[in-house]
């Protein structure tokens, strides 16, 4: 810490991303990356990209990508939306951070925003850095979210659906309970993992002006390294996010990323093939581990949340690490006996199961 640090950083504990080890021979199941490469059309789009275009700034409105996202949502997800309902950013982390600034009040005068005590651990970090008061709501014993507990005065709500690191999904009717509880404040539904079996809330944006859904290309489109995420919300909410972006950095998404993401979202066949394979692998691995005596969450994500009745999670974590398998262990209250294991290829998961036998 330098002596020049401003008081905004007082007490800030930054988010700690999962380890990105330099070692090659590792089975990496710790950061919920997709084990399959992106659509071959992504490589084609990148190799035919004219580098001369780098001399110009990118399209700060991300027009073509927003159109492609919109067509996808309308055609495959029953969400009747227009490009004006879409905001694209440099990863969904950035999109959510901009939303915290756009919608949640700072200082101590307002009600706190609400999110579960066990959820994406970036939520309290954004709240702290933007000085937004927050309150966490405990998950139920089975790790589910009780929407009724969010029906109290609040400055907004943030729900990851499926939740992380549990993978457990809320129904749309439960989400509607939260949306109806406080129509004066925004509810962010973070759908980073929705493509692996959950039901999207995207179509609800036409009914609920206080709903903002966030998605990413990092997981189901295998583009974590490119950094693209987007929001789906009413035109008015999107305009508010734009105000924050354009007061901060107008060109958040680079021109190469824009064409690569467009190629990925247009290849529906490849998307379906790879995400279906991940879902099928998750279900098979869950059955195998349960047979071996493990608790395995009912996950609708590309990871499972696992514990053993007799062996401590930290011991299993270290044992797997010694066998070159990296999973995620959170040394945090209530979940310090669980491991989050990303779904890899069939072969990787077979090796995992063998190591756990």
Which residues lie near ligand PMP (CB under 6 A)?
Answer: 91-93, 120, 160, 164, 190, 192, 216, 218, 224, 229
Q: Name 231's bridge partners.
A: 87, 214
Placement of tokens 């780098």 in the chain:
54
- In this structure, the number of other CB atoms found within 10 A of the CB of residue 226 comes to 22
Based on CB atoms, which residue is closest to ligand PMP, 160 or 238?
Answer: 160
Smallest separation (angstroms) from ligand PMP to the CB of 5: 26
Phi, psi torsion values for 212, nearest 5 degrees: -130, 115
Smallest separation (angstroms) from ligand PMP to the CB of 120: 4
Based on CB atoms, which residue is closest to ligand PMP, 151 or 224?
Answer: 224
- Distances 268 to 6, 273, 275 between C-alpha atoms, Å: 47, 9, 11
- In this structure, the number of other CB atoms found within 10 A of the CB of residue 346 comes to 14
Smallest separation (angstroms) from ligand PMP to the CB of 141: 22
Smallest separation (angstroms) from ligand PMP to the CB of 322: 26
- Distances 97 to 89, 171, 255 between C-alpha atoms, Å: 10, 25, 22
Placement of tokens 């036998």 in the chain:
357
Based on CB atoms, which residue is closest to ligand PMP, 120 or 317?
Answer: 120
Based on CB atoms, which residue is closest to ligand PMP, 111 or 136?
Answer: 136
Smallest separation (angstroms) from ligand PMP to the CB of 19: 13
Q: What angle do CA 224, 226, 230 make, to 5 degrees?
A: 80
Based on CB atoms, which residue is closest to ligand PMP, 116 or 308?
Answer: 116
Smallest separation (angstroms) from ligand PMP to the CB of 92: 3
- Contact between residue 11 and residue 128 where contact means Cβ atoms under 8 Å apart: yes
Smallest separation (angstroms) from ligand PMP to the CB of 212: 13
Kindly give the pairing relationship between strand 157-160 and strand 187-190. parallel
**Three-class secondary structure of residue 158 per DSSP:** strand
Cα(first)–Cα(last) distance of the chain, in Å? 45
- Distances 137 to 102, 211, 313, 314 between C-alpha atoms, Å: 23, 20, 24, 26
Based on CB atoms, which residue is closest to ligand PMP, 85 or 218?
Answer: 218
Based on CB atoms, which residue is closest to ligand PMP, 179 or 301?
Answer: 301
């Amino acid at each position: 810490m330098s002596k020049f640090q401003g008081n905004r950083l007082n007490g800030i504990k930054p988010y700690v991303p999962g380890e990105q080890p330099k070692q090659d021979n590792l089975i990496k199941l710790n950061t919920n990356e997709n084990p399959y490469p992106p659509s071959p059309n992504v490589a084609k789009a990148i190799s035919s990209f004219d580098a001369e275009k780098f001399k110009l700034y990118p399209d700060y409105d991300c027009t073509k990508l927003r159109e492609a996202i919109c067509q996808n949502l309308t055609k495959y997800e029953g969400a009747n939306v227009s490009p004006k309902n879409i905001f694209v950013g440099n990863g969904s982390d950035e999109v959510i951070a901009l939303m915290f600034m756009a919608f949640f009040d700072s200082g101590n005068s307002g009600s706190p925003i609400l999110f579960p005590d066990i959820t994406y651990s970036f939520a309290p970090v954004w709240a702290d850095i933007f000085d937004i008061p927050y309150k966490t709501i405990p998950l139920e014993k089975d790790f589910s979210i009780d929407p009724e507990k969010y029906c109290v005065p609040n400055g907004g709500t943030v729900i990851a659906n499926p939740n992380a690191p549990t993978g457990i999904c809320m129904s749309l009717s439960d989400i509607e309970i939260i949306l109806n509880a406080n129509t004066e404040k925004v509810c962010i539904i973070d759908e980073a993992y929705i493509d692996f079996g959950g039901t999207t809330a995207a179509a609800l944006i036409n009914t609920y002006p206080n709903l903002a859904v966030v998605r990413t290309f990092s997981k189901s489109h295998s583009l974590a390294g490119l950094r693209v995420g987007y929001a789906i919300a009413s035109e008015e909410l999107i305009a508010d996010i734009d105000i924050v972006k354009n007061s901060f950095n107008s060109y958040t998404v680079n021109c190469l990323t824009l064409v690569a993401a467009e190629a990925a979202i247009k290849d529906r066949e490849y998307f379906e093939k790879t995400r279906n394979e991940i879902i099928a692998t998750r279900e098979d691995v869950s059955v195998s581990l349960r047979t071996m005596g493990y608790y395995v969450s009912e996950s609708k994500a590309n990871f499972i949340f696992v514990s053993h009745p007799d062996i401590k999670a930290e011991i299993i974590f270290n044992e797997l690490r010694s066998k070159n398998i990296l999973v995620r262990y959170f040394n945090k209250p209530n979940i310090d006996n669980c491991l989050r294991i990303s779904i890899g290829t069939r072969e990787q998961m077979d090796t995992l199961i063998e190591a756990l036998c």
